[in-house]
A and B are shown apart, each in its own frame.
Chain A
Amino acid sequence: MELLCPAGNMASLKAAINAGADAIYLGIKDNTNARSFAGLNFTPDTLKQAAAIVKRAGKKMYLTINTFPQTGQEQRWYDAINAAADYQADALIMADISLLDYASQRHPQLPLHLSVQASVTNAAALNFFQQEFGIRRAVLPRVLSLKQIRDLAKDTSVELEVFAFGSLCIMAEGRCQLSSYVTGESPNRGGSCSPAKHVRWHEANGERLTRLNEVLVDKTGVEENIGYPVICKGRYLADGAEQPEFILESPTSLSTLELLPELARSGVGSLKIEGRQRSPAYVSQVTKVWRQAIDTYLHAPEQYQSRAIWQQVLTKVSEGQATTAGAYQRSWQ
């Protein structure tokens, strides 16, 4: 079972390798990937260095090209695909049909992973992408239960990758317009979810108002620990209700430490850590915990138990300092 870790820059890449990642995913410094934040990602030069470092360490490098080019702008995405082939990336992570088509024809030797942004949640679609473009692997949206993943693994020969830890998207990824509805920007369009430039905090009279493009997402005490503001984790009033509630989800992160054996038995081949936008310290801490967890499991699968100390480390770096197993558990749904 592979441990796949994020790298938003060179320091995170090295941190991930040193902490025991089997593979690293990263993106180019432009809008060809869904974590297009200022100060993040790799230039052609640093990408080349990154490829060399990963290769020397005997690990794998996957290049994320998972946004959707608009008509007439495809060349930048094609360039990114060709660069990945030049640097001998171990796989491309992509969602757009035209790009999958381009890569599978131009670089048939280059393995393709279907990005979570493609929003593929069933065997019919997975097997179709395999037949049309030869995808080797798919990253599953965070909307499937463990049983659905087990069924999926039986119904396809495409390798499955799931999110094991990190920010929790609660919507079918790649098809969520909450961010663009409020800000005009979204991951699909080469931006990001809830871009920082639209976030405003205002403190007065012991209250903190959190706004996204002027829309009030939450109102808290100034001492309260709050997560990064996204629409799906805001506090709102349902029609007729007096009490504010986290009507979609409260600030929390996904963590599946407890579910590791079940994920392994389900036929999942790779565990993904979310967080290319997070710090090298985050990457290091989270990777170390998951390395230990996976090794512990592989050493004695029957005796595996999640350790309190692992959970403590992960909780500290989680949204709202809380974690959930999300849709993997039916009760969450």
Chain B
Amino acid sequence: MQFSLGPLQYCWDKPAVEAFYQAAANSHIPLIYLGETVCSKRRKLRFGDYLALAQMLRDAGKSVVISTLALVESRSEITELKKQLENGEFLVEANDMGTVALASQLQLPFVCGPSINNYNLTSLNKLASWGMQRFVMPVDLSKQWLSTITEQQPQFEIEVLGYGYLPLAHSARCFTARHHGLNKDNCETICANYQRGLLSQTLEHQPLLRLNGIQTQSAACMDLRDEIPQMEQLGVDWFRVSPDSIASVAFTDALMQGERSLSQHQLTCNGYWYDAAGMSQV
């Protein structure tokens, strides 16, 4: 099993994003995803900027995948997606069925990202017939579920989100803007104020959610590092770290060297892997 770095999900300023991918270029991480997956109103980096970063990473010897929006709602987003798919070089991670459809029509291979809802091998084989080369398991699925897929030895690669905050939902509404009394159309890109999203707690101060624009994430960090031997046994190809700071690069690098004791976050969860409530620590 190898290790990958998932796309940055937060709205960072361009210099911070560039510094992050420069660090990634200097790391040992072989597979790197990048691109805007949450909101098309975030424009601190344009597609051309991402493409330049992708080329820089490629020149550093990395496999690079362009990640795309999880919720595709408008004509302009479709136009942008076509541009991303037709980049001429890099594989694309589809996070919406619209992107799968476009990739299939253009006869381009794709990675099926974690926010597309797939729950059985028959559906996955259909996706493979449309061009899926790699399948990133939806976050709510378990080891037991995965074993029903891997025991059939499918033709596509399998990637599991193993470390990071979980993307739980996407809405038309921007929750960060709402918290500031704004709405999506006049959001002032207020989500850029929150480098790791806006933490929300219950009235008993139990951390619950993390607001990231139109995306809702878990407050707890999913940590499946102890499951790495199981994943290797199952035949998982890639263990994904979902980054939330530049330190995530060194963290992943260390993980690749077998260092599993580094602690990035206090509050962790692993419930989904055991078919339990996602927020629980089994």
Partners in one complex: yes
Is B149 an interface position by the 8 A CB rule?
yes
Taking the closest CB of chain A, its distance from the CB of B85, in whole angstroms, is 11
On whether A148 and B73 interact (CB within 8 A), knowing A122-B96, A125-B101, the answer reads yes
Taking the closest CB of chain A, its distance from the CB of B147, in whole angstroms, is 9
| Contact mask for chain B residues 206-222; partner A; CB cutoff 8 A; 1 contact, 0 none | 10110100001010000
B116: nearest chain-A partner, CB-CB: A175
Q: Are A333 and B184 in contact (CB under 8 A)?
A: yes
| Contact mask for chain A residues 46-80; partner B; CB cutoff 8 A; 1 contact, 0 none | 00000000000000000000001111101000000
Is A184 an interface position by the 8 A CB rule?
yes
Taking the closest CB of chain B, its distance from the CB of A109, in whole angstroms, is 22
On whether A70 and B216 interact (CB within 8 A), knowing A124-B78, A171-B170, the answer reads no
Count A/B pairs, Cβ under 8 Å: 220
Is A216 an interface position by the 8 A CB rule?
yes
Of the stretches A12-20, A243-251, A260-268, A314-322, the one at the interface is A243-251
Q: Could you tell me the distance between the alpha carbons of A236 and B73 in the complex, rounded to whole angstroms?
A: 29
Q: Are B71 and A128 in contact (CB under 8 A)?
A: no
Q: Are B140 and A238 in contact (CB under 8 A)?
A: no
Of the stretches A24-32, A95-103, A300-308, the one at the interface is A95-103
Is B98 an interface position by the 8 A CB rule?
yes
Q: Could you tell me the distance between the alpha carbons of A129 and B121 in the complex, rounded to whole angstroms?
A: 19
Q: Are B71 and A143 in contact (CB under 8 A)?
A: yes
Q: Considering residues A151, A183, A333, which has the most beta carbons from chain B within 10 angstroms of its beta carbon?
A: A333
Q: Are A118 and B75 in contact (CB under 8 A)?
A: no
Q: Are B277 and A184 in contact (CB under 8 A)?
A: yes
| Contact mask for chain A residues 223-249; partner B; CB cutoff 8 A; 1 contact, 0 none | 000000001101111110000110111
Q: Could you tell me the distance between the alpha carbons of A280 and B168 in the complex, rounded to whole angstroms?
A: 33
| In the complex, chain B residues whose CB is within 8 Å of the CB of A188 | 117, 119, 140
Q: Are A143 and B172 in contact (CB under 8 A)?
A: yes
A234: nearest chain-B partner, CB-CB: B202
B173: nearest chain-A partner, CB-CB: A333
Q: Are B277 and A333 in contact (CB under 8 A)?
A: no
Which residues of chain A from 168 to 187 have a CB within 8 Å of any chain B CB? 170-172, 174-178, 180-184, 186
On whether A180 and B123 interact (CB within 8 A), knowing A122-B96, A175-B170, the answer reads no
On whether A69 and B174 interact (CB within 8 A), knowing A121-B71, A123-B78, A180-B278, the answer reads no
Of the stretches A84-92, A290-298, A324-332, the one at the interface is A324-332
Of the stretches B6-14, B193-201, B257-265, the one at the interface is B193-201
| In the complex, chain A residues whose CB is within 8 Å of the CB of B115 | 175
A119: nearest chain-B partner, CB-CB: B117
Which residues of chain A from 203 to 234 have a CB within 8 Å of any chain B CB? 213, 215-219, 231-232, 234
Q: Are A237 and B122 in contact (CB under 8 A)?
A: no
On whether A128 and B101 interact (CB within 8 A), knowing A98-B123, A239-B200, A248-B175, the answer reads yes
| In the complex, chain B residues whose CB is within 8 Å of the CB of A232 | 169
Taking the closest CB of chain B, its distance from the CB of A172, in whole angstroms, is 5
On whether A143 and B73 interact (CB within 8 A), knowing A186-B140, A215-B206, the answer reads yes
Q: Are A151 and B75 in contact (CB under 8 A)?
A: yes
| Contact mask for chain B residues 31-66; partner A; CB cutoff 8 A; 1 contact, 0 none | 000000000000000000000000000000000000
Is B275 an interface position by the 8 A CB rule?
yes
| In the complex, chain A residues whose CB is within 8 Å of the CB of B152 | 71
Taking the closest CB of chain B, its distance from the CB of A217, in whole angstroms, is 7
Taking the closest CB of chain B, its distance from the CB of A187, in whole angstroms, is 10
Is B136 an interface position by the 8 A CB rule?
no
Is A127 an interface position by the 8 A CB rule?
yes
| In the complex, chain B residues whose CB is within 8 Å of the CB of A213 | 277
Is A145 an interface position by the 8 A CB rule?
yes
On whether A69 and B71 interact (CB within 8 A), knowing A181-B279, A247-B200, A327-B172, the answer reads no
Q: Are B183 and A333 in contact (CB under 8 A)?
A: yes
Is B127 an interface position by the 8 A CB rule?
yes
Q: Could you tell me the distance between the alpha carbons of A121 and B81 in the complex, rounded to whole angstroms?
A: 14
Is B97 an interface position by the 8 A CB rule?
yes
| In the complex, chain A residues whose CB is within 8 Å of the CB of B116 | 175
Q: Are A125 and B169 in contact (CB under 8 A)?
A: no
Q: Are B200 and A96 in contact (CB under 8 A)?
A: no
| In the complex, chain A residues whose CB is within 8 Å of the CB of B203 | 216, 218-219, 235-237, 244
A213: nearest chain-B partner, CB-CB: B277
Q: Are B72 and A124 in contact (CB under 8 A)?
A: yes
| In the complex, chain A residues whose CB is within 8 Å of the CB of B72 | 121-122, 124-125
Q: Are B101 and A127 in contact (CB under 8 A)?
A: yes
Q: Considering residues A101, A175, A182, A248, which has the most beta carbons from chain B within 10 angstroms of its beta carbon?
A: A175
| In the complex, chain B residues whose CB is within 8 Å of the CB of A155 | 75
On whether A176 and B169 interact (CB within 8 A), knowing A122-B73, A188-B117, the answer reads yes
If A98-B123, A122-B73, A128-B101 are given as contacts, then 19 extra A-B residue pairs at C-beta distance below 8 Å, sorted by A number, are A68-B119, A69-B120, A97-B123, A97-B126, A118-B97, A118-B117, A120-B98, A122-B77, A124-B102, A125-B97, A148-B73, A171-B171, A176-B169, A182-B279, A184-B276, A216-B204, A247-B179, A248-B209, A332-B173
Residues of B near any A CB (own CB < 8 A): 70-75, 77-78, 81, 96-102, 104-105, 115-123, 126-127, 139-140, 145, 148-149, 152, 166, 168-175, 178-179, 183-185, 198-206, 208-209, 211, 216, 218, 271-272, 275-280
Enumerate 28 A-B pairs (CB-CB under 8 Å) in ascending A order: A68-B119, A68-B123, A69-B119, A70-B120, A72-B148, A95-B117, A97-B118, A122-B73, A122-B96, A124-B98, A125-B97, A143-B172, A171-B169, A172-B170, A175-B116, A175-B117, A176-B169, A181-B140, A181-B278, A182-B278, A184-B280, A218-B203, A237-B200, A247-B211, A248-B173, A249-B173, A330-B184, A330-B185
